[in-house]
Amino acid sequence: MRSEPILRMTGRGRTMLLTFDDGPHPEYTPKILDTLAKYEVRATFFVCGEMADYNRDLLTRMADEGHVVGNHTWSHPLLTKLTRRRIRSEMERTSEVVEQAYGEAPRWFRAPYGAWNRAAFQLGSELGMEPLAWTVDTLDWTTPGTGTIVDRVEEGAAPGVVVLSHDAGGDRSQSVRALRRYLPELLDSGYHLTVPRRRLI
């Protein structure tokens, strides 16, 4: 069992992961999926169970289009403030919804706010999930401006990095527009944008 989350990906070449937290959202997530589809790129979506439960069709679409769906708890609480029983409930309920709508249980989880503790690692492992954090934080939830989000991704781009963005939790129109700008630029720079495998470090 891990005692800290995975921060980056191993592998050859200029490979990066794009990850989106807090969704799926009925307005912003489809726009992100449309952009990913346009460039034939797959990404990882760490979904909150209560959002996924209302937007199961989007999880089905993610499965159809080859994206990975991870567990981001049910209601996005601070896990370090919860009892072990509550953490298990938050994870289990989300995994059940993902399995029903996506077709298989999630193999990855991410703690809300990046706040991990021993219980989260243990329970995630018991549910068959690996903890995945991030290397580049766009801070898009602060709505810093589309250009700033683009700059943070492009300046942070490097082999193996995991980029954190959001597709819900507020107005994510900047995140949507930023993806449309930086995605083709990353591809033109020779980056391969993919989804996590079990060979992460």
Domain architecture of the chain: domains with CATH: 15-194 (3.20.20.370)
Report whether pLDDT(2) > 90.
no
Cα–Cα dist 130/58, whole Å: 23
Report, as an integer, the average pLDDT of 179-185. 98
- Residue 166, beta-bridge partner list: 21
The pLDDT of residue 193: 95
Axis crossing angle, helix 56-64 with helix 28-38, rounded to the nearest 10: 10
pLDDT at position 186, please? 98
Instruction: Judge whether residue 99 has pLDDT over 80.
Output: yes
β-bridge pairing 192-194 and 162-166:
unpaired
Contact 53, 97 (CB under 8 A): yes
Residues of the chain with pLDDT > 70, as a percent, come to: 98
Query: For 48-58, what is the mean pLDDT?
Result: 98
Supply the pLDDT for residue 69: 98
Angstrom distance (rounded) from CA 112 to CA 20: 12
Q: Please say if the pLDDT value at position 109 is more than 80.
A: yes
Q: Which positions are catalytic?
A: 21, 166
Higher-pLDDT residue of 2, 72 = 72
- Region 85-101 average pLDDT: 98
Q: How far apart are CA 52 and CA 199, in angstroms?
A: 27
What average pLDDT does the segment 153-177 reach?
97
Position 197 scores a pLDDT of 80
Q: What is the pLDDT of residue 10?
A: 81
In whole numbers, what is the pLDDT of the chain averaged over residues? 95
Top pLDDT among 115 and 1 is at 115
What amino acid occupies position 35?
Answer: T
The pTM (predicted TM-score) of the whole model is: 0.97
- Residue 201: pLDDT over 50: no
Is the Cβ–Cβ distance between 162 and 8 less than 8 Å? yes
The pLDDT assigned to 198 comes to: 62
